[in-house]
Amino acid sequence: MTWFDGIDLLGTRCTTCQAVFFPPHHGFCRDPLCEGEDLVEHRLSRRGTVWSYTNACYPPPAPFVAAEPYEPVTLAAVELDEERIVVLGQVKDLTVDDLSVGMEVELTAGTLADGHAVWMWGLPR
Ligand SMILES: [Zn+2]
């Protein structure tokens, strides 16, 4: 299942109540008041505001592949403008000193130490 196609984040949307899920969720709607079972792909909006952030000063456990020597990364939880859901991601080219709650960020792409391409949050272009 793909979460990210290098351009947009891919979630799912319930065709009954329009609720959006990320990571993509299939099978049945998670809203306990909705009986919808038809969830379709939904491209998430690319902009949002910083809801919270932190730095990761210690490498996460395996299977995460950390850079050697480990370089701390910055993580942000971003509330998407349209869907109003919060998506966690690594922040590209910014530190916690550059971030503040409520600042606008935009989806971008980056590469992890093991070469995997992932979504990241960055300054709006
Ligand atoms: Zn639903």
**Does position 39 have pLDDT exceeding 70, yes or no?**
yes
**Does position 61 have pLDDT exceeding 90, yes or no?**
no
**Burial class for 91, CB neighbours closer than 10 Å (0-12, 13-18, 19+):** buried
Q: How far is the CA of 45 from the centre of ligand 1 (A)?
A: 19
Q: How many percent of the chain have pLDDT more than 90?
A: 72
The identity of residue 20, as a single letter, is V
**Does position 79 have pLDDT exceeding 90, yes or no?**
yes
Per-residue pLDDT at 1: 67
Q: How confident is the model at residue 37 (pLDDT cuts 50, 70, 90)?
A: very high
Nearest CA to 11 out of 46, 50, 49, 40 is that of: 40
Helix (H, G, I), strand (E, B) or coil at 98: helix
Q: How far is the CA of 12 from the centre of ligand 1 (A)?
A: 11
- Please indicate, yes or no, whether residues 62 and 114 belong to a single structural domain of this protein: yes
Per-residue pLDDT at 7: 81
Containing structural domain, residue 85: 47-122
- Please indicate, yes or no, whether residues 54 and 100 belong to a single structural domain of this protein: yes
Residue 4 lies in a domain: no
Q: How far is the CA of 22 from the centre of ligand 1 (A)?
A: 14
* CA gap 27, 37 in Å, rounded: 6
Indicate the number of domains in the chain. Answer: 2
Q: How far is the CA of 25 from the centre of ligand 1 (A)?
A: 11
